[in-house]
Structure 1
Amino acid sequence: MIIGVPKEIKTDEYRVSITPAGVAELVKEGHTVYVQNSAGEGSGFSDTEYEKAGAALLTDVAKLFKLSDMIVKVKEPIPLEYELFKQKQMLFTYLHLAADKVQTEFLLEKGIRAFSYETLEVNGRLPLLEPMSEVAGKMAALMGSVHLGKYHGGSGLLAGGVTGTHRAKVMVLGGGVAGKAAAEVAAGLGADVTILDINMERLHYLNDVTPANVATLYSSHDTIKDLLPECDIVVGTVLIHGAKAPKLITKEMLGLMKKGSVLVDVSIDQGGCFETSHPTTHTHPTFIEDGIVHYCVANMPGAYPRTSTYALTNATLKYVKALAKHGAENICQELPVMVSSLNTYDGVLYNKAVGEAHDIKSKVW
């Protein structure tokens, strides 16, 4: 199969979808890999490294798309890239379609055979989302702490405090991979941390493995309201597989919070779990509403692209190989877990949650 690796052009995105080592494995299995010039530079990979791995470099991205059977990306296609795709071309990337009707309609109209990283489910886990969730979760605690700084509009409280002073209180909504990572880093900074989740089994696990300054609580609307007045940082990591994130903190609830507190919305790719959230960029990561700092960067792991690219390739390469070997026509029969990754195919939507989000009819594969 001919595989295309274009340079990411989303604002402030420096990851690349495959490392040179990953390219070498694909080439070894007989596939042709086209990599756009400088696609890996943001992650610290030179064109020379890709050439040594067996990739063919192309300057013309339109030619790359035209020649390729499958496009492997990091982030969802943006409108500037839509015209590059061929009818019924394969695409493997993060899609987050429940929060993006325009992209959903494009994929359907073009007949794109689109498989998403974030919906691929194996034994109840999301193995292609987990590495980026871990990066984003760790970042969430760091960014929340940084933006408590007065020069960022925060309250001026140091997250871990110092001898004789108060420590920040951090609430983490969602105890999954991102939530656990956020809690561990916030605790490591010295903050007092509370994780909220509705899965009691998960809460028992978190209670056992997280540091002593991390508490666990069953999540409810009333519990969140009770904790908000004392919180300095709130990290939202809630996830419903493939669907829009629920709005756990409303605009009205911001009035319960201390001015200069920080909301970090890790769920922003899926629409955000705070009512007042809207996507931001690394260049302009925050905005202030009702005196509360909002950090809602839609591609958080892009800030640490070298770590993120290695972690992403470690997780995705197995499935890229499988798609390249079997093709879109046969992959769901040969590797049934890919049914959960399939979102659109020849103009038909195969993700129920996305269909419900956009009132589009979906089918079961």
Structure 2
Amino acid sequence: MKIGIPKEIKNNESRVGMTPAGVLELSKLGHKVFIQSTAGEGSGWDDEDYHAAGATILPTIDRVYDKSDMIVKVKEPIEQEYDLIKEDQIIFTYFHFASNKQLTEAMMKSKSVCIAYETVEGEDGSLPLLTPMSEVAGRMAVQQGAKYLEKPVKGRGILLGGVPGVPPGKVLVLGAGTVGIQAAKMAAGLGAQVTVLDIDMKKLRYVNDVMPPHVVTEFSNEYNIRKHIKTSDLIIGGVLITGAKAPRLITRDMLKEMQPGTVIVDVAVDQGGCFETTRPTTHEDPAYIIDDVVHYCVANMPGAVPYTSTVALTNVTLPYVLKLANMGWEDACADDKTLAKGLNMVGGKILFSPILEAFGWKEAMI
């Protein structure tokens, strides 16, 4: 199979869809890999690294799309890429269709085969291709939140860990999934007082078992959320419903109950966000303020640490890339139920029902 790796062109996105190690594995099996020139530079690999691994370097993104049977990316195609995508071409990447109607309609029009990293799901409900980026984003949420609590960037002027004689900051984590656990771990490591809310008692028991005593858990409901936002310095939203829009847990009116300079970080922004006032931002202009509350809502947060993120992501995507290349998408998905869950769209037909529900569509094709 011919596999294409275009350079990511979303704002401040420095990750790349494949490492030289992945290119080598595909090349050894006789597959042809085309990579756009300089695609890997942001993550630490130059064209020579890919060439030495067996890739053919192409100068432009349109040539990569034109020559490839399958495109392996990190982020969803953006408008400049829509017309480059061909009928029956496999696009293997993060899509987050439920929060982007324009993208959904464009991919339907292209009649491509869209396999979304974020909905590849194991029989146990695990999300193997989303997990590593959730781990990165959860840890970064605290790192960035701590920065934006500083007064020069309009935060409360709080040091999360405190110092002797001064109490630590308070962190509220919404969701005890991968993002929430990693965020709680980082915040606890800094010495903050951490509260984790979730509706899944099994997850709360796990958090309670593995975290230190200054991480406490409570059941998530509106009453408890409203109680904690009044005193929290940093609030992290990490709630996920696989492939669907995130639930809105903090409404606009709740901002008035927060202390001026409170920082909220919405890690669910790719899925529409779990705060009503969320709007996607970029690393170039990451934060904005509403009602004296600092919002950090960068849609590709792991893109700020591209080497770590690329290696973590491709560690888990490569086995599926190899299966798709060796077997073709139909046989690969028939053979692997986990991969089949990632099949969101084929030939203009939506196969993943949460996308239809997100837009109120009744049919699988419009």
Q: What TM-score do the two structures reach when normalised by structure 2?
A: 0.98
Q: Deviations over 1:313-347 (max 9, x none)?
A: 00100101111112123222122222210011001
Q: Secondary structure at the match of 2:50?
A: helix
Aligned to 1:261: 262
Aligned to 1:111: 111
Rounded to whole Å, the distance in 2 between the matches of 1:336 and 1:206 is 29
Alignment of 1:38-57 (within 5 A): 38-57=38-57
Q: Is the 8 A contact 1:20 1:49 kept in 2?
A: yes
Alignment of 1:82-93 (within 5 A): 82-93=82-93
Mind listing any 5+ residue stretches in structure 1 that lack a counterpart? Answer: none
Aligned to 1:77: 77
| AA of the residue aligned to 1:244 | K
Q: Deviations over 1:46-100 (max 9, x none)?
A: 1111011000000022111111000000000000111111122110000000000
Deviation of the 1:349 alpha carbon: 0.1
Deviation of the 1:251 alpha carbon: 0.3
Q: Deviations over 1:97-137 (max 9, x none)?
A: 00000000011111010000000000210000000000000
Rounded to whole Å, the distance in 1 between the matches of 2:129 and 2:363 is 23
**Identity across aligned pairs (percent)?**
52
Aligned to 2:62: 62
Q: Is the 8 A contact 1:10 1:75 kept in 2?
A: yes
Q: Is the 8 A contact 1:128 1:315 kept in 2?
A: yes
Rounded to whole Å, the distance in 2 between the matches of 1:362 and 1:118 is 22
Aligned to 2:198: 197
| AA of the residue aligned to 1:43 | S
Q: Is the 8 A contact 1:350 1:362 kept in 2?
A: no
Rounded to whole Å, the distance in 1 between the matches of 2:81 and 2:363 is 25
Rounded to whole Å, the distance in 1 between the matches of 2:363 and 2:296 is 33
Q: Secondary structure at the match of 2:254?
A: helix
Q: What TM-score do the two structures reach when normalised by structure 1?
A: 0.98
Mind listing any 5+ residue stretches in structure 2 that lack a counterpart? Answer: none
Rounded to whole Å, the distance in 1 between the matches of 2:138 and 2:363 is 32
Rounded to whole Å, the distance in 1 between the matches of 2:102 and 2:361 is 12
Deviation of the 1:22 alpha carbon: 0.8
| AA of the residue aligned to 1:354 | I
Alignment of 1:198-347 (within 5 A): 198-347=199-348
Alignment of 1:108-187 (within 5 A): 108-122=108-122, 123-187=124-188
Q: Is the 8 A contact 2:184 2:196 kept in 1?
A: yes
Rounded to whole Å, the distance in 2 between the matches of 1:268 and 1:44 is 27
Rounded to whole Å, the distance in 1 between the matches of 2:103 and 2:313 is 22
Deviation of the 1:362 alpha carbon: 5.2
| AA of the residue aligned to 2:357 | E
| AA of the residue aligned to 2:298 | V
Q: Secondary structure at the match of 1:4?
A: strand
| AA of the residue aligned to 1:334 | D
Q: Secondary structure at the match of 1:230?
A: coil
Rounded to whole Å, the distance in 1 between the matches of 2:25 and 2:238 is 34
Q: Is the 8 A contact 1:263 1:295 kept in 2?
A: yes
| AA of the residue aligned to 1:216 | T
Q: Is the 8 A contact 1:171 1:235 kept in 2?
A: yes
Rounded to whole Å, the distance in 2 between the matches of 1:290 and 1:235 is 17
Over the aligned positions, Cα root-mean-square deviation in angstroms equals: 1.1
Q: Deviations over 1:250-305 (max 9, x none)?
A: 00000110000000000000000000010001111100000000000000000000
Q: Is the 8 A contact 1:352 1:362 kept in 2?
A: no
Rounded to whole Å, the distance in 1 between the matches of 2:141 and 2:301 is 8
Deviation of the 1:30 alpha carbon: 1.3
Q: Secondary structure at the match of 1:105?
A: helix
| AA of the residue aligned to 1:36 | Q
Q: Secondary structure at the match of 1:118?
A: helix
Q: Secondary structure at the match of 1:227?
A: helix
